[in-house]
Amino acid sequence: MSFNLFFSYKWCLFFLLLFSQCQLIRKQEQVKQLATDYPFQFQQLKTDSLFDSPQVISIIRLAKKDTAAYYFDLAHHPSQLIKTSQFAKNENAILAINGGFFDMDKGGSVTYLEAQDVVFHKHKLNGEKWAIANWAKTGAIIMDKNGQLKIEAAKSQAFYEQSHAEENVLITGPLLIENGNALTLPKKDFTNKRHPRTCLCETADANLMLTIDGRKHFAKGMSLRELQTFLMEQHCIHAINLDGGGSTTMWIKDQGVVNHPSDPFGERKVANALVVKLKKME
């Protein structure tokens, strides 16, 4: 074989291998986007390489510059369990994700919940069934009277009871990111093991609603530390964990449930949901 022929053969082989690798990467990472007239963007990432595992991540992005068009609300029922999708339809919402931790026997939130400035639930006491440990309820989701969202380190229940600045309050957690810093998490199975996750994140210019599918061959879920890493890559300034596992659900109007709930019976009934509604234009 001549030198020139060998040289050409080597380069052909190189580009063939490079092309094959590019094809593999494209197969590993697929992004589904949704065209809509509503004031949000949706994308769903499917990959088998993130954290060396298959993942399905659904993200709704609501730009802060569009807050004249939409607002957040807290849908809940004090004693009944209702599907996230049904909460959304009842509220005439355009978006919804499942909310905080709840009593799976009797319904109702097991952490502090205030809606329309009325207190409906306080923390279940440690030792009671379905009670949430203090380390896991370190954040609060706040909605003001204009339906604007804020994620903060949880203050005391007494503070929120006495304050009238908040329209809706849901204490949940743990808080994952504060002021751009990933917070230290305790070494617990809840934080270390991979599970389906639901979370909220605030960036400089948007609010993000996210679900991480899990407990499936095509979606392993994330530990909370992996979730922190992913959210930091999304430039989250503040982020909070919500109820996950079989409760993890994302719903979009005209699309239905867009993630893959892991509950063996399908979409799980929950006690509350975070919904987004359109503002009425005068």
Confidence band, pLDDT 50/70/90 cuts, at residue 155: very high
Query: What residues make up the domain containing 80?
Result: 31-278
The answer to whether residue 10 is domain-embedded is: no
Segment 46-55, tens digit of pLDDT: 999 999 999 9
The answer to whether residue 8 is domain-embedded is: no
Q: Which of 10-14, 76-80, 138-142 has the lowest mean pLDDT?
A: 10-14
Query: In this predicted structure, what is the pLDDT of residue 231?
Result: 98
Q: What is the count of structural domains for the chain?
A: 1
Say what the pTM is: 0.89
Encode 157-183: b = buried (16+ Cβ within 10 Å), e = exposed.
beebeeeeebbbbbbbbbbbbbeeebb
Greatest extent of the chain over all pairs of C-alpha atoms, in Å: 87
The answer to whether residue 140 is domain-embedded is: yes
- Whole-angstrom Cα Rg for the chain: 21
Cα-Cα end-to-end distance for the chain: 80
CA 94 → CA 37, 163, 200, distances in Å? 11, 29, 17
The answer to whether residue 16 is domain-embedded is: no
The answer to whether residue 7 is domain-embedded is: no
Segment 168-216, tens digit of pLDDT: 999 999 999 999 999 999 999 999 999 999 999 999 999 999 999 999 9
Helices (H), the chain: 3-28, 84-90, 157-162, 189-192, 224-233
The answer to whether residue 55 is domain-embedded is: yes
The answer to whether residue 152 is domain-embedded is: yes
Residue 88 has pLDDT above 50, yes or no: yes
Report whether 111 contacts 139 (CB < 8 A): no
Whole-angstrom distance, CA of residue 212 vs CA of residue 259? 8
Average pLDDT of the segment spanning 254-271: 96
The answer to whether residue 132 is domain-embedded is: yes
Residue 278 has pLDDT above 90, yes or no: yes
